[in-house]
Every structure is written in C-alpha cells, then in structure tokens.
Structure 1
Amino acid sequence: MAAPAQTILGIETSCDETAAALVRRHADGSGEILANIVLSQIEDHAPYGGVVPEIAARAHASHLDRLIVAALAEAAITLDDIDGIAATAGPGLIGGLLVGLTTAKALALAKNKPLAAINHLEAHALTPRLLGPLEFPYLLLLISGGHTQIQIVEGVGRYRRIGTTIDDALGEAFDKTAKLLGLPYPGGPQVEALARQGNPKRFDFPRPLKGREGCNFSFSGLKTAIRETVEELRPLMQTDIADICASFEA
C-alpha cells in the first residue's frame, strides 16, 4: 500500500543563509519542492571577511518569519495544510540553530504538528533523491562548511564514511587562499573565477596523500605552500594571483 502524500515545512539556519522551503512527498514516493526561499547574508559579513556568528543569529531572527510566510505563499498553502515541520539541529553555529529550532518548535506547538530535528549533513546526503530518480546505494562527495567527506549512502539513516579530511576542510582551504591573496569575501567564487584566467602549470603545489591508499584528504600543506608563494612574490601582480588560483585548483 502506497504511503499517503506529505507536505513538510523545512527551516534552515545553520550558518549564514536563512531558508524556508515546502517539500511534498507524493503517494508514489516521488518528491517535489513547492517553494524554496533563501536569504543570503553575504553583505552583512563582507566587512569582516567571514561569517560572524552573532551577526548571523540576529539576521536569522530578523528575517525567518517573513521567509516562512513567503514560502507558504509561493506554495499556495497554509500552516494548517502541512503535515510536519523539519528544522536543522546541527552541525552549525549555535546561535543560528537556536533561532531556527525555537521557531520550528513554536509553530509545531501552535499548530499541533510533528517536528523533526535534522542533521544538515544527512539532508545534503539525501537531497539528490528529491531532484530525480536515484536508487540506494550511491556514492556521495560531501563538501559543506567545515566538512569534506566521501560517503556511501546505503539508505535513510545508513551511511558509511570511506574518506574524510585529516586536517582542514576544502572550503577552509578556499577561504584561506582567498584571504592570502587579498580577495573580497566570499573568497571561494573569487578564486574559482580567477582560476579560469590563470596558468595552472606555473606553480607545482603539493597534493598531500595523492597516490596513497584510502580516500582521505589533506589540505594544510597546500595552504602552507600558497602562503609561502605569496610571501615570496609580494607585491603580487594580477597575473600572479590568477596563476596561484589556477594552480591551487589544478
């Protein structure tokens, strides 16, 4: 017997984006995103060169309510029509998580709806199944915030990690490289754009763990090599910056 259709309100406040979404699981098991409203905080954090947890939490508190209203309007439903509420419970910045979870708990209590606390890494792992047919098991490269992992997704709640970073996350390597090069926040997109203009063969940066058994990553040596190169070349020309970015990504 097919499971009944369900519509869930999702709330995400784990870092520097405030988001509210309505997702429906149809009776045949297929998924549909009815609404997905995301508010970026890039302008709030840009003057500081990175995410400031206190600023992030205050921004979530200021905007989450209206994003939920906007998502409901886009999906053309009300809170009475949903079957449950899901909110990110971690990992993430504690202030932002508290804003999202407190809001979700209040709505669940007021409307007598079930509440699910979601691990946002698990959400990353399962989201591809909303976008199209995807059978278990499948291989997942998970790069999110301070996480860099390779997982085998065997089923809901069943994950086998076969590789991870032994030091820094890939996102941190991008951010630190951008900061060393004096690029504006957020640094990752800046590095990627400049890499397209540079010579990826100019600098032979190290690739730690390459050729070794296993699926682990290491990025601390790469960051150190870039810092030493920047110090050696100063003052940097635009071609130097582009070539460093290209060699970093090579």
Structure 2
Amino acid sequence: MNTHQAQILEALEGRLQYRFKDRAGLLRALTHRSAVPGDQVAHESYQRHEFLGDRVLALVVAEMLFTAYPREEEGDLARRLNQLVRRETCAEVATDLDLGAVVRLGAGERQSGGRRKEAILGDVAEAVIAAIYLDGGFDAARDFVLRNWKPRMENLTGPLRDSKTLLQEWAQGRGQGLPAYSIVDRSGPDHAPTFRVVVTIDGEAAGEGQGKSKRDAEQAAAAEALANRAG
C-alpha cells in the first residue's frame, strides 16, 4: 500500500469513525469485481463482504426497530426493516460517507459512471459493515450501523408501504422475476373463509401466509418472504 492510498484510507476511516487494525479488509470491501482478474473475484472483490454485511445490517436494524417500536406487530416491523435495509437506503449512506470516491473499479466501470451507480454504492456500504465487523467485532459494526441508520429510522415519514410492494421492489432490485402468488388452501365456511397463499420468486417458494381474504393472505406471504430475506 503506497502513501497516497494510505492517506485516502485514513481519511475514509475518519468519515467512518472507525480505525482499522488491518486495512486489508477495508481495501477488499472497496474493491468491485471489475477491478480484479476473473479467477480472483470471490476472494479479492467485495462480494463476500457484501454477503456478510447484509446479514449484520439486518440484525442490527431489526434489534433497533424491536426496541424502538415495542407495540408494533411483526408485519409493521418487517416493513420498516425492509425500507431501512433496501439498496436505496444503503446507497444513501454510501453517498453520505463518500464511498463512491474511494471504491476501486475497473476502467470500463469507471467510464460508465460506476461511482454513482446505486447498486454499487449499496453493495459497498454493506461490504464496509462486514469489514468493520471482521476487524473490530459485532459491537463496532453495531455502533457504525446505529450512527448511520438510526437517524433514517427516526426520519421515516408517511405510511409504511405494503409488503407486496416492498417484496416486488426487492426482487426487481436484484434482477429477479416478479413475485407470483398462489392459493394453496381454502378452508372454513363460505361466509368466513380462510385462505393460505404461497409466494414464489423465480419458481422458488419464498414465503407463506394466511388471511381472511386473498389479499390479506398475499400480504402475509409477502411479509414472511421479506422476513426470510432479512434473516
């Protein structure tokens, strides 16, 4: 690592409010797959870090919501969770921390505006969470998430979007097919039926729910799919 690179990472640590014991993990968290040879992507790019950071973020935000909203039901908590951990929110955090300026990209990705791409920014934010977790442990990662996500939780305004909408946005944001809902069971008398619905994404079951109407059952299935995704 040369002096200029070390200065860039030191300035970034100031914005992150965390000093790394080993900056190699931070450097990997900032490295897009386009910046490394194809056979080294799994180990030298941020992909594995993004996978881990996504889970750490979901756990910390879930705990934060559980504490902040003691009277809310699971479905409402799941909707808040998915608004806070979705790619757009992660990209906002990355922008606030100016991660786009330091992410390592291949020439083609740089020329196509990769430093401003929402998908890359969101992934890098999650990868940085993983880097902090691996370097300093859960408490350090938790502190980082709370600093950057708690104000966003407190500033959530307007009605919570329904679970079906959030699940559709989640699937589309990852290049997957639209969720499909199927009634797998109908029980009870005609005047008070209960429906059981399964939602699938790209042919795979993602969640199941039941309700007194098809709409309620679909919403319950979508909420379970979102909860499964967050877990």
Q: Greater helix percent: which structure?
A: 2
Q: TM-score, normalised by structure 2?
A: 0.27
Structure with max Cα Rg: 1
Q: Greater strand percent: which structure?
A: 1
